Structure 1
Amino acid sequence: MQCKRKGFAGVNKYNHSMPAPAACERVRDGERLGACGAWACAADDDLPLDPRLWSRHEVGEWAARRGARPERFPMNGKALCLMSGAMFAAREPSLGPRLHQDFRRRLAKALALQELLERLLTQ
């Protein structure tokens, strides 16, 4: 997989384009809804569904629940958006690839939900 900063972050082995880190900017401040933020809470861990809106504390909780040391991720969700797989691996060598995969899965889910909601609201 090759990564590029402009347009797309790369193409995976299934030939699907992956969003560039710039896609992290679509949710604006003040769009948090509900008690736990974003659109809803993820049922499995009670974190906001959209990881771009995670606070430093929520990033730490997410990392700790996956066996990582939270002090290695002293950042909010927007900062995690800018991290590559290699950057995750540098912070947590054994868990980095799985953390990166989990984060990108959550981000993709949030982006898909946001796109769906935008389409429904513009009809």
Structure 2
Amino acid sequence: MSEEIDLPAVLSELLFGDESTEPLETTLDRLITPTFVQRINGAVYDRVAYIPHVREMRQLVVGGGELTVLEQFSAGSTIAGRYLFRMVPAQGPGMTFESHLFARVEAGRIDRLVEVARQTEDGDFLSAS
């Protein structure tokens, strides 16, 4: 059975969301399962540990940001992709991360994210074209 979600939209909402419009816990209830786990570059976050992680990421993007999909594939309840995250802090230069993400979806919400990410310099990644 195919589980339809817009993974880039979910990731953008998590990373660039604003708690003044919706409490983070409410956002998480809509977007991730109670059993959610993220593994990123060796660190493991269960749902409880994910809350401060998301808040920390959101603080890094108070100046704005964007997500670009380089490649994305889905099969059934899994999605794999390569994305660029551009993060603009309140002060200082922006940062870009290339992220390879593998997601599992259950009942229209993300249950697992496995991610390998690295900070990039302009032009040091391979485009999807």
After TM superposition, the score normalised by the length of structure 1 is 0.30
